[in-house]
Amino acid sequence: MNDIFEKYKELNIDGSWIGLEAGGNDPWFCTPIGAETFGWDNGIHFCFIDGFGETVFAVDAECCCEHLVFPIARNFCDFLRLILAAGNTCPIEQIMWWDKKMFEDSLNDPDNAEWNSKPEVQKALKAIAELGITPMEEPFEYVKDIQKDFPYDKLQYTNEYYDTLGLERPDGTERDEWHSEVRISRIFYEDK
């Protein structure tokens, strides 16, 4: 793992204020095999995945686009630079399905500005900046660039992923209908 990630962990900040809450390492149906989750923002979680180096991924079971797992930074340092640029993880994670105007509108939204001005948020952002990290200059373009040619078909999932989405399992085994329906209900209704 890279040095910046280790330095971030040593800060021992309350990442929940910037959408990077620690804990909750239980995988969701769409968490890829080999994922190491390091932060949460409600149901969305952020991770590294074996075989993809230092790339940071977002996992969003309720994503409204084609992919439930997608890269958002080439490495953890860039991930922190994106957070400094946006104030928290929420606008960064949503770039996947937003256009630039939607992203900019989010950054300029009065509610977002009010949240980002909270002392707890500012304390977390200041601690990150003190690592010598500066805000990403073109956050929207940066994220779109790494997402456009990413080999999404290389991500591997458990059978639960295919069962939940009603897809044929790559290993050819049969779906367990009852288990899948119970799991879907638990994820989308009970965990909220």
| pLDDT tens track for 147-161 | 999 999 999 988 888
pLDDT at 143: 97
Instruction: Parse the chain into domains and list their residue ranges.
Output: 3-157, 158-192
Phi, psi (degrees; rounded to nearest 5) at 58: -105, 140
Confidence of residue 176 (pLDDT cuts 50, 70, 90): low
pLDDT digit string, tens, across residues 136-147:
999 999 999 999
Task: In whole angstroms, give the CA distance from residue 122 to residue 109.
Answer: 17
Mean pLDDT of all residues belonging to the chain: 88
18-25 CB contacts, 8 Å cutoff, 24+ apart = 18/83, 18/87, 18/88, 18/89, 18/121, 18/124, 18/125, 19/44, 19/83, 19/88, 19/89, 19/90, 19/93, 20/46, 20/83, 20/89
Number of other CB atoms surrounding residue 163 within 10 Å: 22
Give residue 170's pLDDT band: very low, low, confident or very high (50, 70, 90): confident
pLDDT of residue 23: 75
Residue 68 φ then ψ, to 5° = -95, -15
Supply the pLDDT for residue 1.
46
Select the more confidently predicted residue: 75 or 1. Answer: 75
Beta bridge partners of 70: 58
Q: Measure CA 142 to chain center.
A: 15
- Give me the percent of the chain exceeding a pLDDT of 70: 89
**Global pTM value:** 0.86
